[in-house]
A = this chain, B = another copy of it.
Amino acid sequence: MGVQSVIFFSLTLLFCLKAEASHCSTHGREQHAGLRLVKNISELPQDNYGSPGLSHITIAGSFLHGIKEVELWLQTLAPGWRTPINRHSCEEVFVVLKGSGTLYLAPNSHLEYPGQPQEFPIFTNCTFHAPVNEAHQVWNTNQDEDLHFLVIISRPPIKAFIYDDWFMPHTAANLKFPIFWDEQCFQTPAKDEL
């Protein structure tokens, strides 16, 4: 390989809607299930979780695959669609595979509300992260094409605070746990009858 060269990666994904509870992890036992260790991403469950402009695939997950310390998602936003304004105490790293849009980030999360966010253009082959506990939003502001990106989080499962707008008080933000794509595999702890 040369020192300076252009390398083209193509990741081809066949989305199929097969979000069945049987895909949920049984406490990491899947790790040793032989052939299932290597998974074809094209065959993983994909869903929009009630948001027609979203596609979400959990490539490596806590509830789904028994991964404990990291989680990896593949998400697509149709033109004009956006993530909720949210913040969380875990780290989150993004890689834009294709498309462009805008990252909104409110670094003053220590005040009573997020406040007017800064805007950062995002583009194919860029990476960025959402600093811990700073409210942020990814918006596909490109009207012409989908925005495809990978998301890596630490300390799964994610517990996100969701805001209606940038001036909603932190105390009024809605804790979303489990997050939409974790709901199916989330098991509420057994009640202690005593």
Contact = CB atoms under 8 A, between A and B. Distances in A.
A187 interface: no
Tell me if A's interface is mostly helix, strand, loop or mixed.
strand
Contacts of A40: 123, 125-126
A127 B58 CA distance: 11
Contact of A11 (B3, B11, B128, B146): B11
Contact of A129 (B41, B67, B120, B152): B67
Q: How many copies does the complex hold?
A: 2
Given A1-B53, A41-B95, A12 B124 contact: yes
Contact of A7 (B15, B39, B120): B15
A98 B10 CA distance: 6
Interface string A63-95: 001011110100010100000000000110101
A133 to B, nearest CB: 12
A107 interface: yes
A4 B16 contact: yes
A172 interface: no
Closest 4 CB pairs of A and B: A69-B154, A9-B11, A9-B97, A38-B128
A155 interface: yes
A70 B53 contact: no
B78 A11 contact: no
A7 B148 contact: yes
A105 B57 CA distance: 26
Contacts of A148: 7, 9
10 contacts: A1-B48, A7-B55, A9-B12, A9-B13, A11-B95, A12-B125, A34-B118, A35-B120, A39-B126, A70-B91
A59 interface: yes
Interface string A96-125: 011000010101000000000010111111
A31 interface: yes
